[in-house]
Amino acid sequence: FYLLAPSWALLPLIGLSTMATIIASQAVISGAFSMTLQAIQLGYIPRMHIQHTSSDAQGQIYIGAVNWALMVGVIMLVIGFESSGALASAYGVAVTGTMLCTTILVSTVMLMLWKWPPLLAVPLLICLLLVDGLFFAANVPKIFQGGAFPVLAGAVLFILMTTWKRGKQLLAERIDEGGLPLPIFIGSIRVQPPHRVQGTAVFLTARSDAVPHALLHNMLHNQVLHEQVVLLTVVYEDTPRVPSAQRFEVESYGEGFYRVILHFGFIDEPDVPAALALCHLAELDFSPMRTTYFLSRETVIPSKMDGMARWREALFAFMLKNANGNLRFFKLPFNRVIELGTQVEM
């Protein structure tokens, strides 16, 4: 490449190639951020801290964990392959493999989602698959010459992502098996009132029709119920910020039970205590020293039940244990949080 220019143009050419490398690297980094966000939204990756760097473009984001992972990965690749020539095989397999996988996925979308007529879609897809398949086939021998790295990296990510997705589905199913409908629970409270204590209990839940497991465990072990019980759900909107007047919705179920829905924009900090403080307009008391946040922490126990292989259940248990929890994410006060553990067999 550098021999294409005369000797006096070597340094400018090095500068030009360096700038091109930086531009290409920025494209890879921003693409990794976007794909990670989409994977989180689809439930294939645990929740991460995402920083929105623009109030106009929702997709303009920064994910620190991904940025550091890319840096470590690049350093390891440079040390491991030692030269750009040795990286050529891995690069060829990665690029042609990505092209082939993209064409296969587009084929599925065109036929099943876009509902293209087969007579129109199939000939076009055959041409694309033929070209991409030939490119990939030409790079298959390079798998044994250093090209195995992108294949192994992709396989590891595939296993991790599908294990998390399937594990969360099975975990939700196991928890729902012992669920109690909220109207029945409130009705039983009305018939046999438990001992009520002063203060407000906040239970985070995504469901509006079932009793949170943390609430059931608190009733089972402590035999008391706070005078004000709030079932809290957090919703993220597509707008940059949500005005304070539209931050919350409150619904009363009676017997001191309330449903509170907090709305946050994609650039808002999810500060739950600060948002709940606005609910005094709805005559709800969220005084810091009178409010207790109850969280549920599930511990997965691998078993012989139908679901996943034992090794994948153990892997999911490890991932779940190390995933970011609600405590830090929602900026809950450490001295006002009670975590109730639940063991779930999968």
Q: Residue 322: how many CA atoms within 13 Å on its side-chain side?
A: 8
Q: What is the pLDDT of residues 187-232, one digit of tens each?
A: 999 999 999 999 999 999 988 888 998 999 888 888 899 999 999 9
Do strands 61-62 and 195-204 pair parallel, antiparallel, or not at all (unpaired)?
unpaired
Domain ranges of the chain: 2-173, 181-345
Per-residue confidence band for 21, with pLDDT thresholds at 50, 70 and 90: confident
Instruction: Give pTM, 2 decimals.
Output: 0.86
The two counts, helices (H) then strands (E), for the chain are 10, 8
* Residue 199 contacts residue 227 (beta carbons within 8 Å): yes
pLDDT at 234 > cutoff 90: yes
Whole-number Å distance between alpha carbons of 37 and 132: 28
Quick one: pLDDT at residue 38? 93
Over residues 21-49, the mean pLDDT reads: 92
Rounded to an integer, what distance in angstroms lies between the CA atom of residue 271 and that of residue 346? 33
What pLDDT digit, counting tens, does each position of 125-137 carry?
999 999 999 999 9
Q: Which residues contact 264 (CB under 8 A, 6 or more apart)?
A: 234, 235, 236, 237, 242, 247, 270, 275
Q: Give pLDDT, residue 328.
A: 86
Q: What is the pLDDT of residue 93?
A: 94
